[in-house]
Amino acid sequence: MLIEPRLFASGLSWPESPRWRDDVLYISDVHNFRVAKIAPNGIVESLCKVEGRPAGMDFSKDGTLLLATGIGRQLLGVDPHSGAIEIKASLPGADKSYLNDLVVHPDGWAYFGETGFRFGVDAPEESGCLWAYHPEKGLKQVAREIFFPNGLVVSPDGATLYVAETFGKRVSAFDISQDGTLKNRRVHANLRGEPDGLSLDADGCLWVPLLFMGEFVRIAPDGSEVDLVKFPGMNAIACIGAGEDRRTLFFCVCKADRSDPTKPVLDGAVYVAASTSQGAGSP
């Protein structure tokens, strides 16, 4: 398919975890420490400030925006209209491990990753993990030895969880059990770059951002690349097939100037493009 993206919204820092609800695109604007809302005309407004630094988020069954805080290591319930915040769960403190991306399964379980090390600070190691949270059944660890877990997607039938292992340069898959546990881990696709936030379409293909290459690749069910969208000079962060009929692709990118590592300049934006294949699954 021919993908010709156009600028949709700017003025963001590091736009993560795009989520669509009621004609609004919600963004975890990580280094601006806020959740942002983007109207159909591209106007950006702050929904709420998040002191613990926002990471992954997704909508719960009751319409609440469930948000993981990277540094704060909490799960927050955010009212998508008022921005009011409620603490849902807290994890033990960890100096060298942050919470990351999150997806909510149709049965109410929320899966989210813990990085295992600090990107850009610690030596990479395969020490990340996945957690599962349910408002009635609590919190439990469901997978270990994940190489920096990032984007998460649940298949339309609710049977499979896909996870981007950024520094493993792969997308892995798990079978999802009725009690929320994960089993039958396998490699779904080996990649030529480091993946971030994933999106699934109705053809069973995954859109995968290659974080440091500025590319979004569409991966067929057999793991082969079938489409490519390039954003030269940018980081490719996350994407989602959304909109009223889920035929609009939203691409989250950032032009990062790290010439001074202590004060990086982050120019984040969201681009849009029409797609011939509908978004599918969760988110």
Tokens matching residue 136: 């009635």
Q: What is the pTM of this model?
A: 0.95
Q: Quick one: DSSP state of residue 123?
A: P
CB 149 within 8 A of CB 125: no
CB 168 within 8 A of CB 149: no
What are the contacts of 127-130 at 24+ separation with CB within 8 A? Answer: 127/97, 128/97, 128/165, 130/163, 130/182
Q: What is the mean pLDDT of the chain?
A: 95
Q: Quick one: DSSP state of residue 168?
A: G
Q: What is the C-alpha separation between 131 and 139, in angstroms, rounded?
A: 7
Domains (range + CATH), the chain: 6-280 (2.120.10.30)
Q: Quickly list DSSP for 193-259.
A: S-B-S-EEETTSPEEEEETTTTEEEEE-TTS-EEEEEE-TTSEEEEEEEESTTS-EEEEEEEEEE-S
Q: Give pLDDT, residue 260.
A: 81
Question: What pLDDT, in 10s, does the model give residues 24-39?
Answer: 999 999 999 999 999 9
- What is the Cα Rg of the chain in Å? 17
Written as tens digits, the pLDDT of the chain (283 aa) is: 667 899 999 999 999 999 999 999 999 999 999 999 999 999 999 999 999 999 999 999 999 999 999 999 999 999 999 999 999 999 987 778 899 999 999 999 999 999 987 776 777 778 899 999 999 999 999 999 999 999 999 999 999 999 999 999 999 999 999 999 999 999 999 999 999 999 999 999 999 999 999 999 999 999 999 999 999 999 999 999 999 899 999 999 999 887 787 778 899 999 999 998 999 999 9
Displacement of CA 157 from its chain's centroid (Å): 20
Q: Which residues pair with 27 in a beta bridge?
A: 36
Q: What is the C-alpha separation between 278 and 273, in angstroms, rounded?
A: 12
